[in-house]
Amino acid sequence: MDHLTNLKDWMTTEGRCSDDPVKVVSYFCSTLADAGVPIWRVNIAQSFANPLFAATGIVWKPEEIEVNEITHAVRQTDSYLGSSFEYIFKHKKPLHKNLRNLNRETEHLSYVEFADQGGTDYYATLLQYGDASLHGCTFLTRDPKGFQLRHLEKIEAALPALSSALEPITMRKSSKSLLRAYLGDGPSDAVWHGTIMRGERTTIEAVVMISDLRGFTALSDSTTEDCVFEALNGYFDAVVQSVEGHGGDVLKFIGDGTLSIFPISDNADRAHQCRQATLAAKDALAGLAALNATRAEEDQPILDIGIGISFGQVSYGNIGSPGRLDFTVLGGAVNVASRIEALTKTVGNRVLATAAVAHSVPELYSSCGTHAIRGISAPLEVFTPFDGHKALDDTASREGRSAMTRPAPSS
């Protein structure tokens, strides 16, 4: 059998079942090279239906291969605008470009860079999947004669085999990444593997952390919708990075609040997860402080938050109707975390935790006294971290309150 026949057979058997796009692209490029196509660099860019990133690029060279995630923002930059990828997606047809004797003043920077690296000829074309989605491929050569017609014909003849292997891999990755974007790591894995059906629940011990943005109503009333969304995204980013950085999962965004858990595997893990949740809360405050420094320079309202941390048994799973489900977590620990988060407004401490959390890591906490809490029959003693318990000082508090009611700056 010839090289292309071998390629098609491998892609439709081992390739499509490998779940390894790097392996698939490597085999594709190596086989093309063995078939006489003088490729030096190949980029296979697969588009994703994902709110966080737009595509994954697998860049192959004979001596190395790398994988890059491409954000949606890249499509608004000079690296994309005017590039071969913009051209093939806009015109729905291939692009063949000679890189020798380029006009450096008018050509896209990518062509100039490839030419400086020894590239002589460039070919960009489309890869189509069964759902009619389009993906991009680029091929570079250093051959002095460039790509000949027979080379391009071999590339085009091999693309359907490549798509047959990459499409199922891409669809699985896209689905998994969507689940992770909306559910977090642990829950998305459970849902993906079919272990959480409607009405089914998993009961675990966990540290629960709830955060809430202060003065959100005033902020919404005093500024533009764009400014509100920008503020929310900055605040959520600070919390999510902190929680995930310490091994937790952000399960839900509830209006201007977040619900996160730090699952506990056994008794020996309890103190560790209580520490991780505490450190995540303190890092969230640090992230918010950095965000506020930027917002102050831009004359934007200062943001403040409250955080409640509790520990106990929770149940999580899918609830809803047969045609519409929501993933959530329920239990006494969730209710208590919510209640003590609300208590931060009156106690004056931005982070409060229950005795169960504080006693697991006593070196991190000091008592804030016993308080009656709405919805809980007996008063609770609450605690705050030694390093992160101070509320905004009087000056900052006044600035924050005035900023919350400050009219939005005119554009």
Task: Select, from the ranges 45-49, 355-359, 375-379, the one with the highest average predicted confidence (pLDDT).
Answer: 355-359
Is there a domain that residue 154 lies in?
yes
Q: What is the pLDDT of residue 37?
A: 96
- C-alpha 235/C-alpha 212 separation (Å) is 10
3-state secondary structure at position 103: coil
Residues 238 and 137 in one domain: no
Q: How many domains does the chain have?
A: 2
- Last residue of one domain, picked from the residues 182, 210, 242: 182
- In this prediction, residue 216 carries a pLDDT of 79
Same domain, 133 and 207: no
- The answer on 308 and 262 residing in a single domain is yes
Residue 410 has pLDDT above 50, yes or no: no
CB 134 within 8 A of CB 10: no
> Per DSSP, which regions of 334-405 are E strands?
351-354, 365-371, 380-385
| Same domain membership, residue 155 and residue 190 | no
224 in helix, strand or coil?
A: coil
Residues in the chain, total: 411
Query: What is the model's pLDDT at position 236?
Result: 93
Among residues 144, 164, 182, which one ends one of the domains? Answer: 182
Task: Print the domain residue range for 145.
Answer: 3-182
Q: What is the mean pLDDT of residues 67-88?
A: 87
The mean predicted confidence, pLDDT, of the chain is 85
Buried b (16+ CB within 10 A) or exposed e, 38-48: bbbbbbbbbbb
Which residue is it, tokens 């091929």? 139
Distance linking the first and last C-alpha atoms of the chain: 67
- According to the model, what pLDDT value does residue 371 have? 92
Q: Tell me the pLDDT tens digit for each residue of 276-296.
A: 999 999 999 999 999 999 999
Q: Would the pLDDT of 392 be above 70?
A: no
pLDDT of residue 334: 92
79-107 average pLDDT score: 92
Say if residue 399's pLDDT is above 60.
no
pLDDT of 196 reads 57
Which of 132, 161, 182 terminates a domain? The answer is 182
CA distance 373 to 371: 6
pLDDT exceeds 50 at position 393: no
- Tell me, letter by letter, the H, E, C secondary structure of 14-52: HHHHHCCHHHHHHHHHHHHHHCCCCCCEEEEEEECCCCC
Task: Work out the percent of the chain whose per-residue pLDDT is above 90.
Answer: 54
Q: Is the pTM of this model over 0.85?
A: no
| Neighbouring C-beta atoms of residue 369, cutoff 10 Å | 10
Measured distance CA(239)–CA(309) in Å, rounded: 14
- State whether 217 and 329 are in the same domain: yes
Q: Does 142 lie in the same domain as 112?
A: yes
151-167 mean pLDDT: 94
- CA-to-CA dists, residue 89 to 80, 157, 308, angstroms: 11, 20, 48
Q: What's the confidence (pLDDT) of residue 296?
A: 92
| Other beta carbons less than 10 A from residue 293's beta carbon | 10
* Residues 328-360 pLDDT 10s: 778 889 999 999 999 998 888 999 999 999 999
For 123-157, how does the pLDDT look when each residue is reduced to its tens digit (9 = 90+)? 999 999 988 889 999 999 999 999 999 999 999 99
